[in-house]
């Protein structure tokens, strides 16, 4: 049986559309959903925020904008540097050899529990339910922590950095919003992972064209590839 590497992103794709997930994992890059051009600014901000948190980590402190809301300490630098890297990050290997992998932005330790933190940058104010879009992602982090022997508490935190103004010297002011996320149980998260593997082992799922605009595109792309091989 072929072994797969799954992440919170691919599990999110699976829950959105099993067929697109199957095409992405089995057919490969030629059948991935078309992606619009994206800005490198979010990844640049992410790197800056990580360095910013690392400065406070060295002093065994929390950044001031979160210290009044969150309790605990940031996980040790040696550990978080490994967890941030997909190659050395947390992983879980299933019975068939397929892997579940993840790379955390950061992690808080409070009363011996390891609580995932994730930085988000946005160009506008949060909606009331903005944080709910990340429940699966944060649940995956808790699952991976637990499977690697760390105590977890079925919660995580999102730290949103939202620009609010530009100073004359080019400095950008940010508002910081912290959102608590109640994550899925470990059993539910594993169930999603297991269901995704079952789809990969069962062959191409039926079209979801009524609810997914990409399914027809994938089918047409597959047909064109087949026709080209015939010639």
Residue ranges of domains in the chain, CATH in brackets: 5-230 (3.90.320)
For the chain, percent of residues with pLDDT exceeding 70: 87
Q: What pLDDT, on the 0 to 100 scale, is given for residue 30?
A: 59
pLDDT at 227 over 60: no
Model confidence at 67, pLDDT cuts 50, 70, 90, reads very high
pLDDT at 37 over 70: no
72 Cα distance to chain centroid = 23
More confidently predicted of 45 and 9 = 9
Angle at 2 between CA 25 and CA 35, to 5 degrees: 10
172 Cα distance to chain centroid = 26
More confidently predicted of 221 and 65 = 65
Exposure letters 144-180 (e unless 16+ CB within 10 A, then b): bbbbeebebebebbbbbbbeeeeeeeeeeebeebebe
Tell me which of 128-132, 143-147, 178-182, 218-222 is least confident: 218-222
Predicted TM-score (pTM) of this structure: 0.88
Query: Which runs of E-coded beta strand occur in the chain?
Result: 5-6, 73-74, 90-93, 99-102, 106-110, 113-121, 155-166, 172-182
Model confidence at 178, pLDDT cuts 50, 70, 90, reads very high
How far apart, in whole angstroms, are the C-alpha atoms of residue 159 and residue 183?
16
pLDDT at 211 over 90: no
Model confidence at 230, pLDDT cuts 50, 70, 90, reads very low
Q: Is 205 helix (H, G, I), strand (E, B) or coil?
A: coil
Q: What pLDDT, on the 0 to 100 scale, is given for residue 124?
A: 76
Tell me which of 6-10, 87-91, 201-205 is least confident: 201-205
Per the document, the length of the chain is 231
DSSP label at residue 76: P
């Amino acid at each position: 049986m072929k072994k797969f590497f799954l992440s919170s992103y691919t599990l999110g794709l699976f829950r959105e559309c099993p067929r697109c997930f199957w095409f992405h994992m089995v057919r490969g890059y030629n059948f991935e959903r078309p992606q619009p051009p994206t800005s490198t600014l979010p990844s640049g901000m992410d790197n800056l925020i990580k360095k910013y948190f690392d400065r406070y980590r060295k002093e065994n402190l929390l950044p001031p904008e979160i210290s009044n809301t969150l309790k605990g300490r940031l996980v040790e630098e040696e550990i978080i540097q490994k967890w941030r890297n997909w190659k050395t990050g947390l992983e879980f290997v299933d019975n068939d050899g397929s892997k579940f992998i993840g790379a955390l932005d950061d992690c808080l330790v409070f009363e011996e529990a390891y609580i995932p933190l994730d930085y988000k940058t946005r160009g506008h104010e949060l909606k009331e339910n903005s944080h709910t879009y990340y429940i699966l992602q944060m649940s995956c982090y808790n699952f991976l922590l637990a499977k690697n022997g760390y105590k977890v508490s079925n919660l995580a935190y999102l730290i949103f950095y939202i620009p609010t103004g530009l100073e004359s010297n080019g400095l950008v002011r940010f508002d910081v919003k912290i959102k608590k996320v109640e994550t899925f149980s470990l059993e539910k998260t594993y169930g999603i992972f297991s269901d995704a593997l079952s789809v990969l082992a069962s062959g191409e799922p039926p079209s979801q064209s009524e609810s997914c605009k990409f399914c027809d595109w994938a089918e047409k792309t597959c047909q064109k590839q087949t026709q080209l091989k015939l010639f």
